[in-house]
Structure 1
Amino acid sequence: MKTTKAIAILMLGLSLAACSDNGDKTRDRNFFDGGDGDLAGLVAGIWVDPQGCEHWIVDDGVEGYLDPRRTPDGRPVCNSDLPRNTASGPFKSGSRFADPI
């Protein structure tokens, strides 16, 4: 009976832990890169996937962010004249780390 109660209390605690507020998703809480945490201040570049669809790409040094480019009606932008499997633009401008590649 004690084991059943312990498991029930543990499960209750785990289920309540999943209800926490995750905070502001527009801020980077990573302290390793020394940035101010505001993702809106980073400059995005464009990466073209193997199928020719474009994605916004940002690299702040420790982490990277990728999001598909979309037309105003929500469809992905897939008619790129840019070379495939290539990133272009100043997407590393927010980085304080040197890139050895």
Structure 2
Amino acid sequence: MEVRPKISVVIPIYNVEAYLSRCLESVVNQTLLDIEIICVNDGTKDHSVDVVKKYKDIDDRIQLVEKKNGGLASARNAGMKVATGQMILFLDSDDYLALNACERLYE
């Protein structure tokens, strides 16, 4: 039997260095732990990837997908291709989640 995370959180990344830490903090600290976090680098030109790598080093639920810039829909599609969760949640990288958002969504 395949074990899948309950939720895949897909976060497109493009020039959001100023907001990304708050976004990732809100996801890694979710009350529902059984999630995967897929960050899709859509060809960012700032240091957003460095921020993701810092979090990836401390949380093994984070994946980094690299792709050429293709826009928001393209980045979301790239994230969906690697997602294994029972549900998919799209989160913009300049937004953040309430601490129990994934738990409430899954319920």
**Fold equivalence (TM over 0.5):** no
Who wins on radius of gyration, i.e. which is larger?
A: 1
User: Higher helix share goes to which structure?
Assistant: 2
TM-score (structure 1 length as normaliser)? 0.25
Higher RCO, Cα 8 Å, sep 6+: 2
TM-score (structure 2 length as normaliser)? 0.24
